[in-house]
Structure 1
Amino acid sequence: MASKRRQFGRVRKLPSGRYQARYVAPDGQLRPAPETFRTKKDADDWLADKQTEMRRGDWHDPDAGKVAFGPYAAAWIEERELTTTTRQLYGSLLRHHLEPVFGAVNVAEISPPLVRRWRADKLASGTGPTTVAKAYALLRAIMGTAVADQMIRRNPCTIKGASTVHTPERPTATVQEVYDLADAIQPRYRALVLLAGFLGLRWGELVGLHRRDIDLDGGALRVRRAVAELNNGQREIKAPKSAAGKRTVAIPGAILPDVRAHLERYAEPGADGRVFIGAKGATPRRNHFNRLWRTACSDAGIEGLHFHDLRHTGNTLAASTGASTRELMARMGHSTARAALIYQHASADRDRLIADAVSGLVDKGRKKVRKAKKKRDRKPKGHEGDTRD
């Protein structure tokens, strides 16, 4: 009886006694299995699996991933629409943290164990957890594109939570501390401190303000641009971090006189005049302002407070008013609810403390009433006369 002819692929026995499996791929090329097999059945089973992949449309070119990670990652960054600051960050993470280990490795050869070992070595060597998390997130994004490009089947970055940046909780200034700092800083930056503290604006948004952005009569401020400082010392005027960053924010009436006084004395003239400029007429630089900030903190007796922490103050105050998540998102300039929910939770925690304090007062008041009642009950009652017949 004639043997049944193979319908897919070919199997041949090698001089070594092992079996080689080959098949014609969708690209028309004759593709051998990456390894030989001990038995003919093992080779047949491998061909059957490969045929199933092709029928499902799940076939991948085994040579597609034979591209060095370094050039692929550099092209990945180059091809994306990124802000200049983000492009610089990604380039730095690639050069200093990813390329030394993965640069010469083929994309298809980057495995979960290799990724886990790289991350563990980074943390053990003293690289900051935040930097490692950002580098891991970049690696995962690049390898995700490799999956979409059908270079690899699965993303090797499988460590749960490894891309989450765990930033320590920053302090929040009190209303009085904001005013103490505004009093201690150079007068030309008094309004800048108050706007940061009570509107929650970012540094780049503040120094990007022009006169036409402030409506004193309407008590509102429009955020339309931000100034970004690049690694090479240059500055870039760009749109805010997200579309939601372009927003109009109401100015608390309590600080309107300070804003008005600043515009009259320190801002550039004309509708396009910059609101905040240094003594020599230049847009303030962050590193120079930080020196003034540290001096003001010292003079005000406030320790460990960064300028950006004033944004937390403004957002916390807004959340404490009972503003909705959507309202907080609009005021803060966020396109997602995550940050707004954080401030709402912080406000809720404070409200819980208040409720607990009220509960203590209630318990104290009720205890006092119960004590007085017991005292009345212990008093002897008057004896009534006998009523014997």
Structure 2
Amino acid sequence: MGPSGFSPPRFPKRLPPLSIAGNKSAMRVRLKGINRVTKKSASGKSVTYYYAWKGGPRLEGEPGSAEFITSYNRAVSQKRAPRTDLLVSIFDGYQDSTEFADLAERTRKDYRRLLRVIDDEFGDFPIAALEDRRTRGEFLAWRERLAVKSRRQADYAFAVLARTLSWAYNRGLAPLNPCERPGRLYRAARNENVWSDADEKAFHAKAPAHLRLALTLALWTGQRQGDLLRLQWAAFDGSTIRLRQRKTKVTVAVPVGAPLKAALEAVKAEYKREGKPLPATILATERGTEWTESGFRASWRKACIKAGVTGVTFHDLRGTAVTRLAIAGATVPEIAAITGHSLKEVGTILDAHYMHRDPALGEAAIRKLEGRAISPN
């Protein structure tokens, strides 16, 4: 999910070789490090600007012209050595680190986008100033300004800054991390955001088969959308689904319940009946191809609209699975073993985010108590 409120430019690593026009045989010169920024003017027309490097001076003239080459050479000759005493060196160092490389691809993409926003604001901030008590106030004030557009994305940007400074502090590159434990501005009110039985029935009644399978798979495994979209048939051995979660690197083995097993076997039988090979992934498009995350979100949103399902998202299916397991009498450790949450995370979900004090829990508790009670007669 791209953070709302931010529109940082996209910088390609390298542009194609540029030609100096004017002669019958143009001279081709490869210019290293050039960055390109495309913006929309007030009229809606796209305009492209070229810079000598990321954060460098803007180049004059049209790409390939003598004026363009001259302005590039002038910028390179005036370029100074990188400043290791400024936060920009920490931002660049973090993105070159193994810790950053170990993040999921989608997370790295989000972090790069936000680090460009942070760099624009604090790239020239002295590292030594991190020791000043007023620095924390400066960072928090910046978060407050971002929160005017989106509290959630302001928290996300601040979390990226805090993680980057934590990386630097642990390696002796920063004297301290003034962004530790800032608290949150955004509080999700998800007490009622669980899929009801009525929501599930409505979706099954209107949605296409390949999306109904996605619903069943999510409700009976409690896994994240990204992990389910990449889940391959090889992970299903007929009784268990085994996967390694991309975000947490946790490996889980989920026993396959009867409704999910029936759905999976039905899909396999359908492909066999049509004489088609199974796609690599369990969840596939109508054409049998792998989903892109954006394509799946768009199709899922349309299916929910058609089914009249509102107020809940695919993400809510993970919490719904936790809730249903709890109502069925599963313990916190049992739930964590299936969904891959930590014990603390399961407790938090049940207590604050999804449980909404379901009356079925009270009913189940009384029935259990009745089973243990000693008759007074």
Q: What letter matches 2:312 in structure 1?
A: L
Structure 2: unaligned runs, 5 residues or longer: 1-82, 367-377
CA distance in 1, matches of 2:271, 2:257: 20
Asked if the contact 1:198–1:313 (Cα under 8 Å) also holds between the matched residues in 2, the reply is no
Report the CA distance shift for 1:291/1:159 in structure 2 as closer, same or farther (over 3 A). Answer: closer
- Offset at residue 107 of structure 1 (A): 0.7
Residue 203 (structure 2) aligns with: 181
- Offset at residue 283 of structure 1 (A): 0.7
Residue 95 (structure 1) aligns with: 116
Are 1:326 and 2:339 matched, yes or no? no
CA distance in 1, matches of 2:125, 2:96: 20
Asked if the contact 1:112–1:157 (Cα under 8 Å) also holds between the matched residues in 2, the reply is no
- Offset at residue 331 of structure 1 (A): 0.6
Are 1:115 and 2:115 matched, yes or no? no
CA distance in 2, matches of 1:202, 1:106: 40
CA distance in 2, matches of 1:99, 1:112: 21
Report the CA distance shift for 1:315/1:67 in structure 2 as closer, same or farther (over 3 A). Answer: same
Report the CA distance shift for 1:165/1:249 in structure 2 as closer, same or farther (over 3 A). Answer: farther
- Offset at residue 184 of structure 1 (A): 1.4
Q: What letter matches 2:261 in structure 1?
A: L
Alignment match of 1:223 (pick from 220, 243, 264): 243
- Offset at residue 297 of structure 1 (A): 2.1
Report the CA distance shift for 1:321/1:344 in structure 2 as closer, same or farther (over 3 A). Answer: farther
- Offset at residue 319 of structure 1 (A): 1.9
Residue 87 (structure 2) aligns with: 69
- Offset at residue 165 of structure 1 (A): 5.9
- Offset at residue 340 of structure 1 (A): 0.9
- CA RMSD, 1 decimal: 3.3
Report the CA distance shift for 1:300/1:93 in structure 2 as closer, same or farther (over 3 A). Answer: same
Q: What letter matches 1:117 in structure 2?
A: E
Residue 6 (structure 1) aligns with: none
Amino-acid identity (%): 22
Number of residues of Structure 1 aligned to a counterpart in Structure 2: 276
CA distance in 2, matches of 1:188, 1:356: 34
Residue 345 (structure 2) aligns with: 339
Per-residue displacement from partner, 1:94-132 (whole Å, max 9, x unpaired)? Answer: 111x21221011111234423323432442352422222
CA distance in 2, matches of 1:355, 1:337: 24
Are 1:85 and 2:91 matched, yes or no? no
Q: What letter matches 2:324 in structure 1?
A: L
Report the CA distance shift for 1:257/1:66 in structure 2 as closer, same or farther (over 3 A). Answer: closer
Q: Aligned runs of 1:156-167 on 2, under 5 Å?
A: 156-157=178-179, 160-162=182-184, 166-167=187-188
Report the CA distance shift for 1:263/1:250 in structure 2 as closer, same or farther (over 3 A). Answer: same
TM-score, structure 2 normalization = 0.63
Report the CA distance shift for 1:329/1:66 in structure 2 as closer, same or farther (over 3 A). Answer: same
Residue 300 (structure 1) aligns with: 307
Structure 1: unaligned runs, 5 residues or longer: 1-64, 225-238, 359-389
Asked if the contact 1:325–1:337 (Cα under 8 Å) also holds between the matched residues in 2, the reply is yes
CA distance in 2, matches of 1:104, 1:255: 55
Asked if the contact 1:119–1:132 (Cα under 8 Å) also holds between the matched residues in 2, the reply is no
Q: Aligned runs of 1:280-319 on 2, under 5 Å?
A: 280-319=287-326
- Offset at residue 172 of structure 1 (A): 0.5
Asked if the contact 2:235–2:241 (Cα under 8 Å) also holds between the matched residues in 1, the reply is yes
Alignment match of 1:354 (pick from 351, 354, 362): 362
CA distance in 2, matches of 1:278, 1:198: 20
Q: Which has the larger displacement, 73-82 or 348-357?
A: 348-357
Asked if the contact 1:210–1:275 (Cα under 8 Å) also holds between the matched residues in 2, the reply is yes
Residue 277 (structure 1) aligns with: 284
CA distance in 1, matches of 2:204, 2:154: 37
Residue 250 (structure 1) aligns with: 255
TM-score, structure 1 normalization = 0.61
Per-residue displacement from partner, 1:129-159 (whole Å, max 9, x unpaired)? Answer: 2222222223223333444444554332256
Per-residue displacement from partner, 1:26-47 (whole Å, max 9, x unpaired)? Answer: xxxxxxxxxxxxxxxxxxxxxx
Report the CA distance shift for 1:206/1:148 in structure 2 as closer, same or farther (over 3 A). Answer: closer
Report the CA distance shift for 1:280/1:254 in structure 2 as closer, same or farther (over 3 A). Answer: closer
CA distance in 2, matches of 1:119, 1:175: 43
CA distance in 2, matches of 1:309, 1:315: 10
